[in-house]
Chains A and B, each alone.
Chain A
């Protein structure tokens, strides 16, 4: 839980010349950008710009045909999603992906699975080291539940929760992994103003308390401009701008892409 003091400037993840195609459809073409430690990095762009594809490449759901992804200074070619998770990359999904049959608590506990190291034998008897480990993880998860203010739905099956709370549980599960890099795919989609403000607060607090680096996709421009340190803009699978919110907002190509102005 100790917050490693964020040292912005050091590169955590760098994406270099990524191209991804599904058959003849080019989702991403030669995209490069980097994410620095402790910053909030937004990826924006119109629908179908390739934002989610970009996140899927980073966490190993998709394997780009070209380009390099360097994480923590190590370049990787092929990486499976569970390997990405082991290296500290957690994520949430655009269309919520929770374990519907489980309670809020159990959902968040799954985020601790990778950290459960006690051998099989002890777990079967639920005794000794296994019990201690379980208690330790439960304590951590309770911390997250408190942090996200979802104590009252601890035991509720998530399928029954309203949309906004489900999104919060999903964030909780990702946080339980104590990720170094957190990928958020439209964390505020479909929320009302109040829920959005809560979520913004949580995201800022995550960075402050846990020292997590965040890359997020978001459509709400107000939110993006307020939250993020730097913004990369995609359109039709290509990068069209990269910089601080103010720089991006003033960029001619970005305005064109969003307003659909022809030349």
Chain B
């Protein structure tokens, strides 16, 4: 038994390194996509201290809008631009209708409000686009298809071109966001707002403007996530479940850290795939669906602020 748990999987890894590379790659790709979802949460959590339950449905809504527009005869690239516009309109209306009237309310109130937003968007999405799953318009958006086979380590490793594209696009987006938040005036203002609303107002930062920017950015992240996930499966309301996968990622990385979301996503993604492939058979497989939560639980016990989160010390 101990041999099966602690030795055998590693012997297998060493035996077939090409297979290991394949598993690691699959894990990395899944991890990148988890990281993208988590990133949407982190953005909003930083700026308003709210866990945005609606992030998952925003992913679905963005993808649905894109596909739906295209189905109605809008050229793909124009549809993409229009979808960006729709996400801006969504951010603006959420700020106007939900956040502004609830300013200075306890966080839990805002959290509940994001539940409301979730069900509103579900209803709106089904009303406009119907409940059927749709295929993502991959080739129209110039996303590559097919696979590259690489001979390495005495075997063959397959890389899906779509996965490579997803990793590259996600990387570029994360870099762009990092530059935006580190260097621009709005980025600095955002970090200020995250710390204290009152103080931010007193130095002349407009909370309303910041909130629109943040929710719009989260909407853009949702759109990219929606395209990438949609291309791997279908675009349907079932996709919003992936938002739940963001939770262990956030617990791992810390709710307030952008690098944390990325590293956390990768750890969860790779951990899941490796665990499933090498240790799964021991318990009749299927551990992919709960392993992430187990890891998160362990973190909550030993390092509740996550890998990169702020350790909050309250003076009393």
Contacts and interface: CB of A to CB of B under 8 A. Distances in A.
Nearest to A91: B202
How big is the A interface, by class? 20 to 34
A93 B200 CA distance: 12
Contacts of A110: 188-189, 192, 200, 203, 205
B204 A99 contact: no
Interface stretch (B137-145, B176-184, B240-248): B176-184
A123 B186 CA distance: 10
B114 to A, nearest CB: 24
Contacts of B7: none
Contacts of A86: 204
A212 interface: no
A100 B203 contact: no
Contacts of A126: 183
Interface in B184-198: 184-186, 188-189, 191-192, 194-196, 198
A111 B203 contact: yes
Given A99-B196, A114-B203, A159 B188 contact: no
B191 A101 contact: yes
Between B189, B194, B195, the greatest number of chain A beta carbons within 10 A of the residue's beta carbon is seen for B195
B313 interface: yes
A124 B186 CA distance: 11
A85 interface: yes
A27 interface: no
A132 interface: no
Between A61, A82, A174, the greatest number of chain B beta carbons within 10 A of the residue's beta carbon is seen for A82
Contacts, number: 81
A124 B199 contact: no
Contacts of A80: 206
A99 B201 contact: no
B310 to A, nearest CB: 6
Between B180, B204, B207, the greatest number of chain A beta carbons within 10 A of the residue's beta carbon is seen for B204
B184 A101 contact: no
Nearest to B184: A123
Nearest to B185: A116
What is the interface of chain B mostly: helix, strand, loop, or mixed?
Answer: helix
How big is the B interface, by class? 20 to 34
A59 interface: yes
A159 B203 CA distance: 19
B203 A113 contact: yes
Interface in A83-115: 85-86, 90-91, 93, 97-102, 109-111, 113-114
Contacts of A82: 201, 204-207
A110 B194 CA distance: 13
Contact of A100 (B196, B200, B207): B196
B188 to A, nearest CB: 6
Interface in B208-253: none
Contacts of B192: 99, 102, 110, 113
Contact of B185 (A99, A123, A177): A123
A22 interface: no
A132 to B, nearest CB: 14
Contacts of A6: none
B201 A81 contact: yes
10 contacts: A82-B207, A99-B192, A99-B199, A101-B310, A102-B192, A113-B185, A120-B184, A120-B185, A120-B186, A130-B183
Minimum-distance CB pairs A-B, first 4: A85-B204, A97-B199, A99-B195, A81-B201
Interface of A: 59, 61, 80-82, 85-86, 90-91, 93, 97-102, 109-111, 113-114, 116, 120, 123-124, 126, 130, 159, 173-174, 177
